[in-house]
Chains A and B, each alone.
Chain A
Amino acid sequence: MTRVLSMASGSAQAALQETPSGFDVHRVRADFPILQRKVRGRDLVYLDNAATSQKPAAVIEAISRYYERDNSNIHRGVHYLAERATAEFEAARKTIQSFLNAARPEEIIFVRSATEAINLVAQTYGRAHLAAGDEVLITAMEHHSDIVPWQLLCEEKQARLRVAPINDAGELILEEFERLLSPRTKIVAVAHISNALGTINPLATMVRMAHDKGIPVLVDGAQAAPRLPVDVQELDCDFYAFSGHKAYGPTGIGVLYGKLALLEKMPPYQGGGDMISSVTFEKTTFNKVPHKFEAGTPDMAGAVGLRAALEYLNGLGLPNIVAHEHELLTYATDAISRIPGIRVIGTAREKAGVLSFVLDGVHPHDMGTILDQEGIAIRTGHHCAQPVMERFAVDATARASFGLYNTKEEIDALVRGIQKVKEVFA
């Protein structure tokens, strides 16, 4: 009896600790200045977060503060501001390290975007390791930015791009993926979350399958970084790429995580200042990782802004964000599916806050224009994932993608907007 009681009290205590720690979406919305504005005379309903997210005041202020107080070039001057700017920039690297749970700050390389991060790996690791007849394995749900860099590489090296197929729900067919991992496969590149379908890939399993055959794995985390807690050591992936602007940070800054041992062996990406330790006209000695990959003056204010964004996310708590967005996705999927003529594209069991759909007899663009008149921003088109559209035999879809500040009321507005679309096309 005593034991039962104590167990009950123990689990109640655990439940208390697990309760979302005061995540109040209406309070959160007040942190985002743009959400206060009207669009076409209506309250803005921003449901295009998979394209880019809005920025909290903390990010905007951090960037202003950097320019107002700390701006100088990093890693160069000996003066006070140079020291300040360098400290801010390197502090941002440490925040990102801890956000991804990377083992060391040197494993964090600043780039412009997830796209540039993938291109960096293709052009350095890829060029150094691929030969004619080798293979790169991607999946059928990749964004163009995780297709084209590999296509370019394969063309140059006369290598072959292989594509692991997906099923009708938009889930990777794991057995096919495993079968396609061959002795010729030199690298695997895969999205953590599909931008067009919302599918969350079973990364840990995929990485294990690839590593069993000695193949490194790059993860395109553009959609996942703001949507899931990411632990690169637990995932054991070799590279992880994400963009600042989809993670509530500024545009123009992105991150490549790479395992130190791999980064150290990779040739440099671009040549220039900061990536060297000494230059003569005869020979250049390259700087150590990560600076070897950061030629030229980087986006220092962007790094500061990204740090503020990640600290903001940490403050809210990623698990709270995951829970909130999952609730929105469930609510929206249910509400949208009830509308006659709607077909949801991407019905994976493991899914993040991205909802793609088509409406019978109405092109997504027309839907987008009519919703826009209601102040509702969604994305329409192929979402830079044309092979996904082909897989589902559609030219385009409408996509509502949710962020931490979206509400059920906004999803109700979307549903009313779709009813209006149907009236126009009745």
Chain B
Amino acid sequence: MADLRDLYQELILEHSKAPRNYRQLAGADHKAEGFNPLCGDHFTVYLKMDGDSIQDIAFQGSGCAISKASASMMTQSIKGKTKEQAKELFEHFHRTVTGTANGDGSDLGKLTVFAGVSEFPTRVKCATLAWHTLQAALEGSQESVSTE
């Protein structure tokens, strides 16, 4: 039987209560909104790009502990990465939370705390919402977003 403690790891609970980079990003040049229409979770991810690399990232919105902690820890691990590295990290993260990763997940860093999500299939969408939103922001328009 899946253990709740595998899902609600201390680090996840801590990030859900005090999310990092939780703000509107002044001077963001990429932005995307992500919704989970089934549960009402919604996040906005802001990016400031420097050529191909992510100079700064922030997010806002509301959702469950898993989705909020995932968004928070994503912003920490993605800052300074290139677009390509960010996409690779998402793919790896996705395999981990769906239980299809073969490796030890060592290069995921702190994000390995989300491995427990794979025991809770209904919560995979919570863990990946911010990442899908990031991907949309990376692929989105280069125009400056309104920061009013």
Q: How distant is the Cα of A41 from the Cα of B3 in the complex, in angstroms?
A: 13
CB-defined contacts of B65 to chain A, threshold 8 Å: 362-363, 366, 425
Interface residues in A355-382 by Cβ distance below 8 A to B read 361-366, 369-370, 373, 380-382
Interface pair A365/B13, CB less than 8 Å apart: no
CB-defined contacts of A396 to chain B, threshold 8 Å: 39-40
Chain B, residues 1-44, CB within 8 Å of chain A (1/0): the string is 11010011000010001000000000000000000001111100
Name the CB-closest residue of B to A425.
B13
Interface pair B1/A41, CB less than 8 Å apart: yes
Interface pair B4/A365, CB less than 8 Å apart: no
Q: Does B64 make an interface contact (CB < 8 A)?
A: yes
Name the CB-closest residue of B to A423.
B4
Interface pair A373/B40, CB less than 8 Å apart: no
Interface pair A382/B40, CB less than 8 Å apart: yes
Name the CB-closest residue of B to A383.
B40
Interface pair A370/B4, CB less than 8 Å apart: yes
CB-defined contacts of B7 to chain A, threshold 8 Å: 369
Chain A, residues 309-337, CB within 8 Å of chain B (1/0): the string is 00000000000000000000000000000
Q: Does A386 make an interface contact (CB < 8 A)?
A: yes
CB-defined contacts of A381 to chain B, threshold 8 Å: 38-40
Q: How distant is the Cα of A396 from the Cα of B35 in the complex, in angstroms?
A: 13
Instruction: Specify which of A369, A370, A381, A424 lies most central, judged by the most chain B CB atoms within 10 Å of its CB.
Output: A369
A residues adjacent to B (C-beta < 8 A):
40-41, 361-366, 369-370, 373, 380-382, 386, 389, 395-396, 424-425
Could you list 19 further interchain pairs (A-B, Cβ under 8 angstroms) beyond the known A366-B8, A395-B41, A396-B39?
A362-B65, A364-B64, A365-B63, A366-B64, A366-B66, A369-B4, A369-B7, A369-B122, A370-B4, A370-B8, A373-B1, A373-B2, A373-B4, A380-B39, A381-B38, A381-B40, A386-B40, A395-B40, A395-B62
28 A-B contacts, Cβ less than 8 Å apart? A361-B17, A363-B63, A363-B64, A363-B68, A365-B63, A365-B126, A366-B8, A366-B64, A366-B65, A366-B66, A369-B7, A369-B123, A370-B4, A373-B1, A373-B2, A381-B39, A382-B39, A382-B40, A395-B41, A395-B42, A395-B62, A395-B63, A396-B39, A424-B4, A424-B8, A424-B13, A425-B8, A425-B65
